[in-house]
Amino acid sequence: GGFEDNMQGGGSAVIDMENMDDTSGSSFEDMGEMHQRMKEEEEEEAEGDAGAGEEEDGEFLGMKGLRGQLGRQVADQMWQVGKRQASKAFSLYANIDILRPYFDVEPVQVRARLLESMIPVKMINFPQKIAGELYGPLMLVFTLVAILLHGMKTSDTIIREGTLMGTAIGTCFGYWLGVSSFMYFLAYLCNAQITMVQMLSLLGYGLFGHCITLFVTYNIHFHSLFYIFWLVVGGLSTLRMVAVLVSRTVGHTQRLILCGTLAALHMLFLLYLHFAYHKVVEGILDTLEGPNMPPFQRVARDVPVVSNAVLNTTAKAIALTL
């Protein structure tokens, strides 16, 4: 009986030890969970304290900081202004980038095209190549403006720089752009294979003969020399343009209309620049600023009239008193 009691007591002790082990394991797990919960609560409290500190800082700064309403508005406005300026600069760069291929040319190529503009092409059975660049034509138009100003200065016209510059630029650019547009419209009606840029380039290089003729004849005043240059140099540049247009046009009637119009306009423009341009500009100057008179007469032209009238009245008064 005692042995059985001891065995039962030992078994109960073993069971108690097992229960203790179980409770101790569960208590360890509970301690780990409690520790983890305490950590999470501390982190949440730290985050709450940081948010409260930021709110307090924001409340403390108020209108003075960039986080305030005024600061945000100023920052918004600065951003919008910078964005507009950047977009303008980008659009300007894009526009320049569009025009860049038309002016991307080497000086050697410009010189070769200037020489080619005086040599008529012989092969008109297939379309001739036209340079699609505007650097050479633009420089030729400005050269023609300079030659016209030089011709006005070497003539008897009284110099008025602003008016002369405006009329010369208006005449040269008006002819280049106006006639190119008109010929492009005519070429479209006549079904010619040419674009607007090619027409501008063709007519612009065609002004090289005009520049040579006017530069020589403005310095050497002989009408016979002008007519020789008009027929030879101006005729060669006109024949070059006519041959290129013929090679790009189908049909005899269309070729006759297109090339006859271009040749007449180009040759008549050279005659106008040599003979009538000076007179037309002088007429414009007369209508704008009065008749051409030497400067010394403009300054004191009323003084002799007044002095003569005073002398006449005094002489008459003296004669009556005597």
Q: What is the pLDDT of residues 29-74, one digit of tens each?
A: 455 566 667 766 666 665 555 444 444 444 444 445 545 677 677 7
Under 8 Å between Cβ of 69 and 99? no
* Residue tagged 């002016």 (tokens): 103
CA–CA distance, 276 with 159 (Å, rounded to integer):
18
Q: Where are the domains of the chain?
A: 107-115+126-286
Q: Are 157 and 127 in contact (CB under 8 A)?
A: no
Is the pLDDT at 199 greater than 80? The verdict is yes
Burial 12-29 (b: 16+ CB within 10 A, else e): eeeeeeeeeeeeeeeeee
Q: What's at 96, amino acid-wise?
A: I
SS3 category, 14: helix
pLDDT tens per residue across span 216-252? 988 887 888 999 999 999 999 999 999 999 999 988 9
- Rounded Cα distance between 36 and 30, Å, is 10
Place of tokens 């006449």: 312
Distance CA 19, CA 25 (A): 10
In DSSP notation, 199-221 reads HHHHHHHHHHHHHHHHHHHHHS-
Class of residue 30 by CB neighbours under 10 A (exposed 0-12, middle 13-18, buried 19+): exposed
**What is the distance between the alpha carbons of residues 231 and 237, in angstroms, rounded to a whole number?**
10
- Give the list of residues 6+ apart from residue 25 with CB closer than 8 angstroms, or none: none
How long a stretch of residues is the chain? Answer: 322
How far is C-alpha 229 from the geometric centre of its chain's CA atoms? Answer: 37
Q: Show the tokens assigned to 177.
A: 């752009």
Instruction: Specify whether the CB–CB gap between 261 and 183 falls below 8 A.
Output: yes
Q: What is the DSSP letter of 62?
A: G
Return the pLDDT at 271. Answer: 92
Cα(246)–Cα(240) distance, integer angstroms: 10
Residue with tokens 């406005």: 77
Give the pLDDT of residue 20: 46
260 residue type, one letter: G
Rounded distance between C-alpha atoms, residue 273 and residue 266, angstroms: 11
State pLDDT tens for residues 116-156.
999 888 777 778 888 888 999 999 999 999 999 888 777 65
Structure tokens at 284: 């414009």
Q: Kindly report whether the global pTM for this prediction surpasses the value 0.75.
A: no
pLDDT at residue 48 in the model: 53
- Eight-state DSSP code of residue 105: -
Of the ranges 47-61, 70-84, 166-180, which one carries the lowest mean pLDDT score?
Answer: 47-61
- Residue 49 CA to residue 33 CA, distance in Å, equals 24
Q: Report the mean per-residue pLDDT for the chain.
A: 75
pLDDT at site 16: 47
Q: Where are the alpha helices (DSSP H) in the chain?
A: 2-61, 69-103, 107-116, 135-154, 161-189, 196-219, 223-229, 235-247, 252-271, 277-289, 295-300, 303-321
